[in-house]
Structure 1
Amino acid sequence: MLSRRQLLGQGVGLLPLALLGSCGRSAGPRLLACKGDLPKAWLATLPSPWTLQELERSQQIVAAARDDQAAHRDDAGLLQLSDGWASSIPTAELQPLGAPALLARLAAAAGPVSRLYGPPQSPALAFPWAFSPWVLALRHRPDLLDQARQSWDVLLDPSLRGRLVLPSSPRISIELMQADASRLRRLRQAALAYDEANGLNLLLLGKASAAVVPQQRLIPLLRQDPRLQVVLPATGAPLSWQVLIRPAQATAPLPLAWLAQVLEPPLLTRLLAAGWVPPLPRAELQRALRALPGPQASLLLPPEAVLQRCWSQPPLPAAQRLAWQTLWDAAAP
């Protein structure tokens, strides 16, 4: 199975920094992120002399970390990526985060992510500031709710054939079907598209009845469309993490006070309202969620037993990547 960066046409060559966007060169350190990948309320407090550079694609951010021209790289002080993209960068091209007190505030589940899935004795390379389970979004399908709450087998319901949007990463579909060839074949036969980025548009336009997407993207839409319902099956789901990492050549000190804002009110409450969930201990999240409506709070912090069944996605060994790629190809309609 290929990595998120490589899977099914997602592999890319590295892009020169000259292509990294139209922003002018800043004299201070830059925070590089894709558009929409960082909360606006948090960015509004980014301290001087830091500046934000928004890019279109994660590939461009990876290129910034791996550019051979150190003179262009040293002002890229922080990179915002998903855990899948961040773990695709060789650790030699990153520097340890150097923020033990900040990381000590996080729940234990964030530990492996902070090491980008390296060995327990390896240094922390990332600040995992938010996580989101992949969930099932249903539009005007109350008849499927009970089944969806039980397991992901609801995706195989005959009524969803041709009206189901799946993630662009085959790995997620394979894991949801527990790498079962027969079930995976049926799932692929049901797919309308493999595109979580635009899948919500298909759902809202009525062209799809269900979509598998990260929960965070759905929270703002729940207020707009009352026919939209979100379900995290009791069997758990893959987790998507948002992390900040430092290129090896970065020289600016970390803006530690700014990073810590995401873990405490009042910013924490605003982030939760927008669907961003920092990996704080459960008791701290429960206190912060008291400010939100009950249904939204329950969605953002599912029962502990369900969260324990969710899983992160460290890089796969080469043999398993190949085996899963073969499995995926064989399941094509």
Structure 2
Amino acid sequence: MTSQQHRAVPATATPTRRPGSVRRTTTHDSLRPDGLLAAVTLVARGRDLRTEIDGGHTVLDEARLEVEVDYPRRQVRRISADPAHPRLTELVGVNASSGFRGAVAEALPGERESGSVRFQLLDDLPTALLVSGYAISAGQAPLPAPVPRPRSGLQYPDLCAGWIAEGTLMSRLTETGVVPISEGPLAPEVEPDDPLGWHEHEPLPPHGMRRRRRLDVWRDGEVVRVEGFFRDSHRSGDGVETVVHEYTVHATVDPATRRFVTSEAEIGALPWPECPVAAASAGRLAGLPLTGLRAEVRRNFTGRSTCTHLNDTLRALEDVGALLEHVR
């Protein structure tokens, strides 16, 4: 394991909820209860909460998703959700990485347009699962000689800023045949004193990976402000939690046109020296509509000026349109 990670400063707190605002929080926990090389149980939870003007609160939506994945084959073995959906079982047997989002669109028509928490949990699953492979490399004892392992078909040169052909990661991969990993900074606690600041979720066990998101939406004069926080973290076999990826996106939206006015990404922690270049891609949201943002990012936010995980954070902002309906 290396310590080449881009040294920024991970978040140490969660902002206070603003009167009239709506906050969505989600977590995806990738667990390996039967061993590092066994199946992955992915438990995802989320909630939409409005903070009332008088300080009260209203739960607008909440969901839970549990998926068992044959990790070597990336195949869904079992899936359940609350709230349930009659066609969810159609996802059993599909690839949980490549093509999963298309399978969700076919099995659950209209789910994306709903802007529901359940859809966000499903939509974030493929890359949360992809990142969970970090736990295997981090948790295995060092070998006398590296043993090359095939990398995912979703990972290739110039995929993103971190995977640029001449970059640190690809150079080491070329030299050793092994995808390197980078040890990040300690993960500060971000759960606030406010018990409603985040939805309820279980402590992360050893060798677990957690993807957490927070999306705050509130009115500020004639604009709507948006803050999207994202962190991937890993808990070692010794119980130490470190940050793998972290961004916070700050944006403004014109509520009349429902288009982005401004957008910028703040780096918390990234694994490779080349990764920070991708933060500038968040500025490309300016002028884009909320509707169809997931498809727009997938089509046009590609290559070495972007980041797969920042892209997912930007894609999640499409649901600002649904949350805006509930902002006071």
Normalised by the length of structure 2, the TM-score is 0.28
Normalised by the length of structure 1, the TM-score is 0.28
**Which structure dedicates a bigger proportion of its chain to helix?**
1
**Which structure dedicates a bigger proportion of its chain to strand?**
2
